[in-house]
Copies of this chain bind each other. A is one copy, B any other.
Amino acid sequence: MKQFLSANDADDPLQLAREAIEIKKDPYEFSHLGENKVLGLIFFNPSLRTRMSMVRAAYNLGMKVITLNVTSDSWQLETEEGAVMDKGHAEHVREAAAVMGSYCDILGVRSFPGLRSREEDYAEKLITSFRNYGNVPLINMESASLHPLQSLADLMTIKEFAGNGKPKIVLTWAPHVKSLPQSVANSFAQWIIASNMDLTITHPEEMELSSEFTAGATIEYDQEKAFQSADFIYVKNWSSYKDYGKLHKDSWWMVDERKLALTNNARLMHCLPVRRNVVITDGALDSNHSIVIRQAENRIYSAQVVLKKILEAL
């Protein structure tokens, strides 16, 4: 594997998830693969799971890690080509990416969208700059529009529970108190559809995601109808794609035990962090339906299979 920016970088997404399940059984089997290799983790935004799981995955493979919080450890980066840099940005991403790439064998970058301009966010300028100028394999640790490490862990988790069955998977929009990216939802749809699995997406009518990622899914505006006979309920808020970045308020969509009772005893999924009693109720999160901690734990192995594939191709 030469890079991991989206599902398109996996020859076979489902097979990659299966390999992650294998690695989980013996996480230290390839602990010499990363010898003398350094993973650089570049954070433009806060992170808990991504940060810790990437480091753990690298350690499991015998890699060493350099972590950089761009804005607090160093300084802001300019991404515009041709900019006259007389303002706040002390360094251009062209130099920063090339230099980081010279210090590390693999780079991971996390950078959230501004949610002000759809065109700007979906152009993925920062991640693209790191790909173009970094000169080493690049891993998307959540970009403006995608979060493939999360989705691979999600797919892996579904496979752990569903085996070779054909589950009904439902992605549902849920309420939140602030505008969030579409990245997790986009990416989940992309990976599930690329795996030829049955995906239903339910959300308020105005909360349509980009068809670039959802083509192939069933869209159902009635949440309760969508939940019927579902095997997996993936809950996630996102802000509006059409009226870009707008916060949609509709607390009715919060997921609770009553709604889970409509399903085929579905597993409850969320990428975390989750705001309790806003997105999902305590009752639902603390019920036997919930597999959110398993999902988070599997972030180690989705990161590890990606690092392994990249190390093997170095």
Instruction: State the A residues within 8 Å of B (CB).
Output: 28, 31, 36, 38, 40, 43, 46-49, 51-53, 55-56, 59-60, 64, 66, 68-69, 72-75, 78, 81-87, 89-92, 95-96, 98-100, 102-104, 177, 272-278, 282, 292-293, 296-297, 300
Contact = CB atoms under 8 A, between A and B. Distances in A.
A71 B279 CA distance: 22
A68 B67 CA distance: 11
Contacts of A86: 177, 275, 278
28 contacts: A31-B36, A38-B59, A46-B72, A46-B73, A46-B75, A48-B74, A48-B75, A48-B91, A49-B99, A51-B73, A56-B103, A56-B104, A69-B72, A78-B276, A82-B282, A83-B277, A84-B276, A85-B276, A85-B277, A86-B278, A92-B276, A95-B273, A95-B274, A96-B273, A98-B293, A99-B272, A102-B293, A102-B300
A274 B66 CA distance: 23
B66 A52 contact: yes
A293 B97 CA distance: 10
A98 to B, nearest CB: 5
B68 A48 contact: yes
A48 B296 CA distance: 30
Contacts of A36: 28, 31, 60
A300 B103 contact: yes
B66 A102 contact: no
A67 to B, nearest CB: 9
What are the 3 A-B residue pairs with the smallest beta carbon separation, nearest first?
A91-B273, A85-B275, A102-B297
Contacts of A277: 82-85
Contacts of A66: 51-52, 55-56
A283 to B, nearest CB: 10
A34 B177 CA distance: 43
B73 A274 contact: no
Contact of A64 (B40, B59, B90, B300): B59
Contacts of A56: 38, 66, 103-104
A272 B74 contact: no
A46 B75 CA distance: 7
Contacts of A60: 36
A52 B100 contact: yes
Contacts of A48: 68, 73-75, 91, 96, 99-100
A72 B60 CA distance: 26
A72 B74 contact: no
Contact of A47 (B46, B64, B73): B73
A102 B292 CA distance: 12
Given A75-B273, A82-B277, A103 B68 contact: no
Given A31-B36, A52-B100, A95-B296, 19 more contacts: A43-B73, A46-B73, A46-B74, A47-B73, A48-B74, A48-B91, A55-B66, A56-B66, A69-B72, A72-B72, A75-B273, A82-B282, A84-B278, A91-B275, A95-B292, A95-B293, A96-B273, A99-B293, A99-B297
